[in-house]
């Protein structure tokens, strides 16, 4: 398995609070991604990074921000959590655009 660790694995938070999810990799891969997975929607890209401090938006980026200050860490922040952000969040990494490897996921519940 690719060396990807997501933390926390599960979290329950209240509406309106900020939440940060962490993705840590030991593969030194250049590209890192955050996806959310919801029933009927598959995996949708939130944000991605193509290098330290280089990030770009995906298709569902509203309400989310990211930061990548080191190659190995990619943080996803929900600035003010809403119930619609209840989801399973996956981090992925790749060294080139041709293959992406996924972490175990973080299940986030916003109440």
Partner 1 sequence: GQQLNQSPQSMFIQEGEDVSMNCTSSSIFNTWLWYKQDPGEGPVLLIALYKAGELTSNGRLTAQFGITRKDSFLNISASIPSDVGIYFCAGTTSGTYKYIFGTGTRLKVLA
Contacts by 35-38 with C-beta closer than 8 Å and gap 24+?
A: 35/89, 35/90, 35/91, 35/92, 36/60, 36/85, 36/87, 36/88, 36/89, 36/90, 37/87, 37/88, 37/89, 37/90, 37/105, 38/87, 38/88
Is 95 an interacting residue with respect to partner 1 (CB under 8 A)?
A: no
84 secondary structure, DSSP code: G
Is 21 an interacting residue with respect to partner 1 (CB under 8 A)?
A: no
Position among 8, 12, 79, 99 found at the interface with partner 1 (CB under 8 A): 99
What are the beta bridge partners of residue 47? 34, 57
What are the beta bridge partners of residue 61? none
User: Least distance from C-beta 67 to partner 1, angstroms?
Assistant: 18
Is 22 an interacting residue with respect to partner 1 (CB under 8 A)?
A: no
Position among 34, 103, 108, 110 found at the interface with partner 1 (CB under 8 A): 103
Is 75 an interacting residue with respect to partner 1 (CB under 8 A)?
A: no
Position among 42, 53, 62, 83 found at the interface with partner 1 (CB under 8 A): 42
User: Least distance from C-beta 27 to partner 1, angstroms?
Assistant: 14
Residues making contact with partner 1 (CB under 8 A): 31, 33, 35, 40-45, 48, 50, 58-59, 90, 92, 94, 97-105
């Amino acid at each position: 398995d690719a060396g990807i660790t997501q933390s926390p694995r599960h979290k329950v938070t209240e509406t309106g609070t900020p939440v940060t999810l962490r993705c840590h990799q030991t593969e030194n891969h250049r590209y890192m991604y955050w996806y959310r997975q919801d029933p009927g929607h598959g995996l949708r890209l939130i944000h991605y990074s193509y290098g330290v401090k280089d990030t770009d938006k995906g298709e569902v980026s509203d309400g989310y921000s990211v930061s990548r200050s080191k190659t190995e860490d990619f943080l996803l922040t929900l600035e003010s959590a809403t119930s619609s952000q209840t989801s399973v969040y996956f981090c992925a990494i790749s060294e080139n655009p041709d293959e992406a490897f996924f972490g175990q996921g973080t299940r986030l519940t916003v109440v």
